[in-house]
Amino acid sequence: MIAGRHRIRTYHANSTSSACSEQAQRDRSYLKSESPKRFVKIVEVGPRDGLQNERQIVPTDNKIRFIQMLAEAGCPTVEAAAFVSPKWVPAMADGADVMEGLATWRRQLRQQTSDDDKCSSTEFSVLVPNIKGFDAAMKSGAADEVAIFASASETFSRKNINCTIDESIARFRDVVVAAKDRGFPVRGYVSCVLGCPYQGEVTTESVARLSEKLIEMGCREISLGDTIGVGTPDKTIQMIHDVERVVDKNMLAVHFHDTYGQALANIYAAVKEGISVVDSSVAGLGGCPYAAGASGNVATEDVVYMLNGMNVETRIDMDKLVDAGTYICNVLNQPRRSKAGIALVAAGIKRCHEDNKRID
């Protein structure tokens, strides 16, 4: 494993008191609400990574409305569909129809609103496994970004996509070249960065090496995914330190599953380390197919609530975000898995009852 970097602050003996005092002042200044807000971009993955792991297949019209609501909430990027084999991922079989519907909606929206409107500025990302999927995504008309995926675990790669890590890189090269020719940005997902359901531990060298290859190939951003949710904050920090040796931190994102209840803590640690892009899924949509009965994606409402409390800007309207979660949970006929979402809905219901009493 690559040795971690320890950030130790040292002071000269004759200036310890003044240095500590200055540091305390800086710490207090950082905590003041009037200090400049840092921005963290949320990549909403519910419509793709979330819905593809739900038992019930959502009708196309409901998917389109769900994505529209997320855009209306101000989500800067929404992963809207996957152009994969319907045999293996039936929940994503309508990817072309979803994207065509969004293209029509976007055209209508831009005719009615200003260019800086939140809805029209939302970027739609689509997952593509090969050049066939890429071509289908391009025909749909609404994609702003394409995403490819590879695993840091050799065993997972063989079992999940039936090829080695190096073979998967070769497959994606054609996609990246085609995307660059069209001026489309490419996002790279790296799965199993903190553990594999088959081989167990995954070395940070493997994660760093694969991330570097994807960047060299032409990806603009690498999303580091804890696929089975086994990571902890210290391991998250170590992994980020090792990857940022070969990939600029500004090109890194994190994607945590909440299998062991560590996702928010891991995101907190990552943000404190300077990561500024976080993947999440509204209402906690999605399961973890490799851990029976376990929860899946971290809930967007919980992430936004935490970041708000850290004085970090997301530019997402929490009320509208909760409404989007309510909508899709009603479609799926299942309870939301977001603790913040549950609390905010309950608080809203309570306020409505109190308002009605005052009116009476």
* Residue numbers annotated as active site: 288
Pick from 359, 267, 273: nearest CA to 5: 273
Using a 10 angstrom Cβ sphere, with 0-12 exposed, 13-18 middle and 19 or more buried, the burial of residue 268 is: middle
Pick from 196, 265, 255: nearest CA to 221: 255
Task: Please tell me the distance from the alpha carbon of residue 25 to that of residue 19, in angstroms, as a whole number.
Answer: 10
Residue 101 three-state SS: helix
Contact 194, 236 (CB under 8 A): yes
CA angle 63, 294, 333 (to 5 degrees): 35
Query: DSSP code of 37?
Result: P
Residue 338 identity: S
Our CA dihedral for 329, 333, 336, 341, rounded to 10 degrees, sits at 50
Q: What are residue 20's phi and psi, to 5 degrees?
A: -65, -40
Query: DSSP code of 281?
Result: B
Strand partners, 224: 190, 254
Task: Please tell me the distance from the alpha carbon of residue 284 to that of residue 293, in angstroms, as a whole number.
Answer: 14
Long-range contacts of 153-158 (CB under 8 A, 24+ apart): 153/191, 153/192, 153/196, 153/198, 153/199, 153/202, 153/206, 154/199, 154/206, 155/196, 155/198, 155/199, 156/191, 156/192, 156/196, 156/197, 156/198, 156/199, 156/227
Our CA dihedral for 100, 103, 108, 112, rounded to 10 degrees, sits at 160
Task: Please tell me the distance from the alpha carbon of residue 39 to that of residue 49, in angstroms, as a whole number.
Answer: 24
Contact 31, 23 (CB under 8 A): no
